[in-house]
Structure 1
Amino acid sequence: MAGQEDAFRQTGWPGLRARLFHLYFVLRRPMTLGVRGLVHDKASNSVFLIRHTYVPGWQLPGGGVEVGETMAEALARELVEEGNIKLSGPPVLKSMHFNRRSSRRDHVGFYLIEHFTQATPKLPDHEIAEAGFFPLDRLPQGTTPATLRRIAEAFEGEAASAYW
C-alpha cells in the first residue's frame, strides 16, 4: 500500500511548491478541528456526559485534533482522558458541524460510540469536575443546548444541524 501512496507523492520543485501553498493556506486561513463523542450505553439507555472545571454545563466528551492525529485517534484519546472510556469497536461519524461560538474557523466531528469499556468511573481532576452516565429521560440540569441537539439528532430523528 505504501508503494501506491508513494506514486502520488510530489517531489522536487512540484512537491516544494505544494508544501509552500499548503503553508500559505495554513497561515492565511487557519482552521481548528475537534471531535465530540456521544457514548451510549444501550443496556441502560444512558449517555456519558462531563462537566468541565472551566466552562459551564454538561456536555459530550471530546476536544481538539492535534497535528498529525486522525479524528478517530483524537476521539479515542479524549475519551480516555475525560472518561476512562476505551473504544472496543469503531465509532460512527454521524455529522460535521461548524462551531461558530468557538471561532470563525472551528469545526467538530460528532461520533456515536456504542462499543466501549470503562474500567473505573472518571474521578474529578483539574479539567473534569464531574462525569457520569445519565439516562436519556433524566439528563442533568444544565445540559448544554448543543448536547441536547446532538442527542435529538442521534436518537429522535432530528436533522443534523450544520452548526454545533
Structure 2
Amino acid sequence: MKLHLASAVSRLFSKILRLHYSFFSGKILSVRAICTDAENRIYLVRHSYTPGWHLPGGGVDNGVSVEEALAAELREEGNLQILGKPMLKYVYLNVEGSRREHIVLFTAQVSQPDGFSRNFEIIEGRFFSMAELPPDLDPACQRRIQEWVIGEFGAAAW
C-alpha cells in the first residue's frame, strides 16, 4: 500500500513540475546516457511516476555543466560512477513533451561499486545485456539503443 501511495504522489509531483515548467520556464535542458559496464551491459531505470524502463538522466540546473549534471544524475539514479570521460553523442528535441526540452545524450562506461539503492524517484535500476532488454522499454530509449548499436546518432526528435 505504501508503494502505491508513494508512486501516486510521485506521479502527481511530476505532473505539477511539468506544468510549472511549461508556464514559467523557457527552455529545458536534460541529460541522458547509455551507460555500459565492463560486460557491455546497459543500465536502465524504472521510475516511480512513469511506466517502462528508461535511460538514466535528468534535468540540468542553472550554473551546472551537462557533464556535472550527468555525473550527479547517475549517482542519484544508480550509484553509478563514470569511468573516464563521457562521450557526447547528440542533442535531441523532445517533441512528445512541452517541445521546449532538449536532451543531451552521452555514452559512458560506468561502475556500480555500492549497488543500486531504491529511492523516491527510481524504484528499480539494473544492467541488461542486449539479449535480455526488457519488453517494456521506453520507445525513445529503444531508438537511442538502436542508434548506439549501429553507431549512427542523429534523429531530429527524442
TM-score (structure 2 length as normaliser): 0.80
- Per-residue CA deviations over 1:40-94 (Å, capped at 9, x if unaligned) read 12x4231000000001110000000001001001000000000101112110000
Partner of 2:47: 52
Contact 2:90–2:153 (CA under 8 A) maintained in structure 1 = no
Using the size of structure 1 for normalisation, the TM-score is: 0.78
1:123 aligns with 2:117: yes
**In the TM superposition, what whole-angstrom CA distance separates every residue of 1:114-154 from its partner, at most 9, and x where no partner exists?**
2x221122122211111000001210121111111111111
1:87-126 correspondence to structure 2 within 5 Å: 87-114=82-109, 116-126=110-120
Describe how 1:1-164 pairs up with structure 2 within 5 A: 30-41=26-37, 43-114=38-109, 116-164=110-158
Larger gyration radius, structure 1 or structure 2: 1
More helix by share: 2
C-alpha distance in 2, partners of 1:45/1:77? Answer: 22
Q: Which amino acid aligns with 1:145?
A: P
Distance 2:155 2:146 in 1: 11
Offset at 1:37?
0.8
Aligned residues: 136
| 1:159–1:66 CA distance, 2 compared to 1 (3 A) | closer
